[in-house]
Amino acid sequence: MQSVQKLKKELQLNTELTDLLDVLKGIASSEFRALERNKERFAKFLNAFEGFFQMIDFSLAEHPFARDRSGKLGIIMVTSDEGFMGGLNTKVINAALNYDGADKAALIIIGERGAGYLKGLGRAFTPFPGVKADSCYESALGLKDFIMKEGLAGTFSKLMLIYPRPVSFTMQKIEILKLLPCGELFEKQGAIHGAVDGKQDLFTEKVIIESSLSGIIEYLVSAWIAEKLYEVFEDSKLSEFSARTVHLEESYQLLLERGKSIGFQYFRSHHDLVDKGMRETFSARMISKKG
């Protein structure tokens, strides 16, 4: 059995760690709620963005960003540099490496911890810094510029984005999103353009296009990719906060149970020590009287 002093120090340390985890858990939960309240602005943007496709007919446009074509695959993985993630980074990377064609794909990874893990597997990749909660938009613009440049250069003709999406406060799902090509984006126009109730859409006929269709497509794709990356980065931060909260809660409960066990040992040892002292005092008095 450990000494009373050692048990007392261990109990004190356990109590301090428990209080610390409780505070960290509260911070992660608050950050999740604050970021979640701003999610609706992405839906508003997409509703306004789709208006561009009501004005121009892209059905005859030939552009690598608007049509599927054979070529190299690119995969972007979004990982976090924060602690207490409960293996979320590993799940993202494993999902990416298990994707069909990943063995020959151009790999792009966001986050130093994820890059370190991928480096240990001996895979070549292009690294990007981890995303901070207060700079998601700036990070999205930086990665968007890289995607547009490499996509037009033919580095990859198909680009997939893999990231953790928060299903709920306590659950995250590894999501796979196709960024390039954006054929589905331009196909939306087909259902809107043309006759409405038997009458031709006059607004569409009167649109004067000064720029080339190719330039318009690249502009729209650039704006769409920037918005999706911004949304994905915020979703990743939400997943990070929720995963951290769950992991901290599990650790918090373990420390509470451990504290109860240490407390029982401490009070038992303390009781035994007091009992031993009383018996020794009683024995000393009896010996003194007999003497």
- Boundaries of every domain in the chain: 4-24+247-290, 37-246
Q: What would the mean pLDDT of 222-250 be, rounded to a whole number?
A: 83
pLDDT value at position 22?
77
* Nearest partner of 159 among 72, 79, 223, 234, judged by Cα: 72
Is 275 a residue whose pLDDT tops 80? no
Specify which residues 128 forms β-bridges with: 110
Is 2 a residue whose pLDDT tops 70? no
Total-model pTM:
0.70
> Of 174 and 267, which is predicted with more confidence?
174
Domain 37-246 architecture: 3-Layer(aba) Sandwich (3.40)
pLDDT value at position 191?
42
Specify which residues 162 forms β-bridges with: 77, 176
Please state, rounded to an integer, the average pLDDT across all residues of the chain: 78
> Of 1 and 233, which is predicted with more confidence?
233
Q: What would the mean pLDDT of 171-178 be, rounded to a whole number?
A: 89
Q: What would the mean pLDDT of 162-186 be, rounded to a whole number?
A: 84
pLDDT value at position 101?
92
